[in-house]
């Protein structure tokens, strides 16, 4: 049995040619986005923000959607991504569990995010769009979209939260290298940015402000649209290539996972690895699926399931999701990509249906897991990814306690080579645990008052 390879590889010919849409298999349909009056939002209401071809994907209930040839061609620059057997991590844990990780850190931008960025840039170009605007916090999404727009041939404008713009220069330089315009947000480029700068010239900015700036620029020009890196249904769809590849890779070695694990910020890499397996689960297969989030931003584990806005200015429709409240101000934990107040409607919905489990991780356990991973497998994970690793280690220890040979699949969502400040802080003892205090959560949930009810 020792003939199983360390990397289970697919050839480019074996790459999936269609995305999987879980909306076709949901036992209960997803509640629609609604306006402030509680009435469903239609495709036309979104047409100034997104191109119609992506809006069609957003509401589609077709099970399989073809991946355009040109998108496949670009994804082939790094896909299919390898599925690794983490033998050295297993040995260090002394576990009978077999641990596999899908390495999404091999993309040029270093994470899973280009899987949807390339597709979104392509559909916008097809629709005649010349400029895409977006926001970025630490810069992972902005750099993925910058690269994708350059490869597809449209212009990209990124509003980057000012404090990250000043403190994390390397992602900004990546975006500029790929030819994008990158502005610190709030900026003088938009009315909302100028207003906020006038009132509070020293503001560090926030993701919510940056979203408002990016949407403002998108809606005021016919040749410009806005792109979002997570949360929406079409983003989950584009990421399913991860899980579809993983299923083919498991077929090659004649195995099937008992447990599938992903970290969850907005939910896209988790949906990407898990939805193709959830399809089997909906049709009777036994598989546990676990989303792991930070204790500091416990959206799935402590946030109620409600209609909430995607941004602080309520420029987006109300989406049905687990949420901490749209005015939630996330604490400065290092896993920047896991700090969003809401969770993808599709991920929230499968949680409501009891198809997935969710856990919340303390930060130090995540960094310890990341170090053990780097010490055994070599790769340095992104701080977000370390949450999935920590959950995987918990499950591997449980398998050891039970003496069971479980097969665990984890999504390794990205590398941490642009996040070394966090490692520096941990290695010099400057990272401590922080669980969101209950009274802070309750205060934040007050912003949900008056929103429409689900159902
Ligand atoms: C952005 C990011 C995440 C979180 O986003 P999701 O939409 O929840 O996947 C996780 N890992 C990495 C490496 C990221 O860049």
Please report the atom of ligand 1 found closest to the CA of residue 267: 8
Q: Tell me the per-residue pLDDT of 355-388, one tens digit each, with 9 for 90 and over.
A: 999 999 999 999 999 999 999 999 999 999 999 9
Q: What is the pLDDT of residue 335?
A: 66
Which residue pairs from 47-52 have beta carbons closer than 8 angstroms and sit at least 24 positions apart in sequence?
Answer: 48/218, 48/219, 49/215, 49/218, 49/219, 49/225, 49/226, 50/225, 50/226, 51/123, 51/124, 51/126, 51/127, 51/129, 51/225, 52/127
Residue 332 has a pLDDT of 67
Q: State which of 105, 111, 114, 275 you would mutate to test the pocket of ligand 1, scoring each by most atoms of that ligand within 8 A of its C-beta.
A: 111
Edge-to-edge strands of the sheet including 259-263? 7-8, 83-85, 98-103, 407-412, 259-263, 288-294, 357-361
In tens, the pLDDT along 156-209 reads 999 999 988 988 889 999 999 999 999 999 999 999 999 999 999 998 888 878
Do the Cβ atoms of 58 and 364 come closer than 8 Å? no
CA distance 192 to 437: 32
Q: Domain coordinates of the chain in residue numbers?
A: 7-29+38-109+234-437, 114-228
The secondary structure of the chain in percent helix, strand, coil, rounded to multiples of 5, reads: 45, 15, 40
Query: In degrees to the nearest 10, what's the CA dihedral of 140, 10, 77, 60?
Result: -60
**Percent of the chain residues past pLDDT 90, beyond the cut:** 88
Angle (CA) 80-85-89 rounded to 5° is 135
Both structure tokens of 362 = 């303390």
- Which pLDDT belongs to residue 336? 66
Domain 7-29+38-109+234-437 CATH (choose: 2.60.40.1930, 1.10.10.1400, 3.40.190.10, 3.40.50.1100)? 3.40.50.1100
**pLDDT value at 331 more than 80:** no
Residue nearest to atom 13 of ligand 1 (CA): 414
The CATH class given to the 114-228 domain equals: alpha beta
| Nearest-angstrom CA–CA distance, 87 and 89 | 5
What is the best residue among 109, 338, 340, 422 to mutate for testing ligand 1's pocket, by most ligand atoms within 8 Å of CB?
338
pLDDT in tens, 98-156: 999 999 999 999 999 999 999 999 999 999 999 999 999 889 999 999 999 999 999 99
Residue nearest to atom 10 of ligand 1 (CA): 384
Pair 75, 59: CB distance under 8 Å:
no
Nearest CA to ligand 1 atom 5: 265
Of the CA atoms within 13 Å of residue 308, those in its CB half-sphere come to: 30
Domain 114-228 in the same topology as domain 7-29+38-109+234-437: yes
340, 303, 338: which is closest to 321 by C-alpha?
303
Q: Which residues line ligand 1 at a C-beta cut-off of 6 Å?
A: 111, 113, 140, 230, 263-270, 337-338, 382, 384-385, 413-414
What is the Å distance from ligand 1's center to 308 Cα?
Answer: 21
Q: Which residue's structure tokens are 């390879």?
A: 5
What DSSP state is assigned to residue 12?
G
- CA 270 to ligand 1 centroid distance, Å: 9
């Amino acid at each position: 049995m020792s003939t199983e390879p360390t990397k289970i590889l697919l050839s480019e010919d074996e790459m999936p040619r269609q995305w999987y849409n879980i909306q076709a298999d949901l036992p209960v349909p997803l509640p629609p986005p609604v306006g402030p009056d509680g009435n469903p939002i239609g495709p036309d209401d979104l047409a100034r923000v997104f191109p119609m071809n992506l809006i069609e994907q957003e509401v589609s209930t077709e099970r399989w959607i073809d991946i355009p040839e040109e998108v496949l061609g670009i994804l082939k620059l790094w896909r299919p991504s390898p599925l690794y057997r983490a033998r050295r991590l297993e040995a260090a844990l002394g576990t009978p569990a077999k641990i596999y990780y899908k390495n999404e850190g091999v993309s040029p931008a270093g994470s899973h995010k280009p899987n949807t960025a390339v597709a979104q840039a392509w559909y916008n170009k097809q629709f005649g769009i010349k400029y895409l605007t977006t926001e970025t916090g630490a810069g992972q999404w902005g750099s993925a979209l910058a690269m994708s727009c350059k490869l597809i041939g449209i212009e990209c404008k990124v509003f980057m939260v000012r404090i990250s713009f000043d403190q994390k220069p390397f992602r900004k330089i990546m975006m500029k290298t790929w030819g994008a315009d990158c502005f610190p947000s709030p900026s003088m480029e938009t009315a909302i940015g100028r207003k906020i700068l006038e009132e509070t010239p020293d503001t560090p900015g926030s993701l919510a402000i940056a979203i408002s700036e990016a949407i403002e620029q998108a809606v005021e020009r016919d040749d410009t649209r806005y792109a979002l890196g997570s949360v929406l249904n079409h983003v989950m769809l584009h990421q399913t290539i991860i899980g579809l590849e993983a299923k083919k890779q498991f077929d090659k070695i004649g195995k099937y996972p008992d447990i599938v694990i992903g970290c969850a910020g907005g939910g896209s890499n988790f949906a990407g690895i898990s939805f193709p397996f959830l399809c089997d689960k909906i049709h009777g297969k036994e598989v546990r699926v676990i989303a792991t989030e930070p204790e500091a931003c416990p959206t799935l584990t402590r946030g109620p399931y409600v209609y909430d806005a995607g941004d602080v200015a309520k420029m987006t429709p109300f989406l049905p999701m687990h949420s901490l409240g749209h005015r939630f101000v996330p604490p400065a934990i290092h896993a920047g990509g896991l700090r969003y107040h809401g969770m993808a409607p599709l991920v929230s919905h499968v949680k409501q249906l009891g198809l997935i489990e969710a856990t919340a991780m303390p930060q130090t356990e995540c960094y310890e897991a990341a170090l053990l991973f780097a010490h055994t497998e070599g790769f340095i994970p992104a701080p977000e990814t370390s949450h999935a690793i920590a959950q995987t280690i918990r499950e591997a220890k449980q398998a050891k306690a039970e003496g069971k040979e479980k097969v665990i699949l984890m999504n390794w969502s990205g590398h941490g080579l642009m996040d070394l400040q966090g490692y520096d802080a941990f290695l010099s003892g400057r990272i401590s645990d922080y669980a969101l205090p209950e009274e802070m959560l309750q205060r934040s949930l007050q912003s949900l008052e008056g929103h429409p009810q689900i159902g």
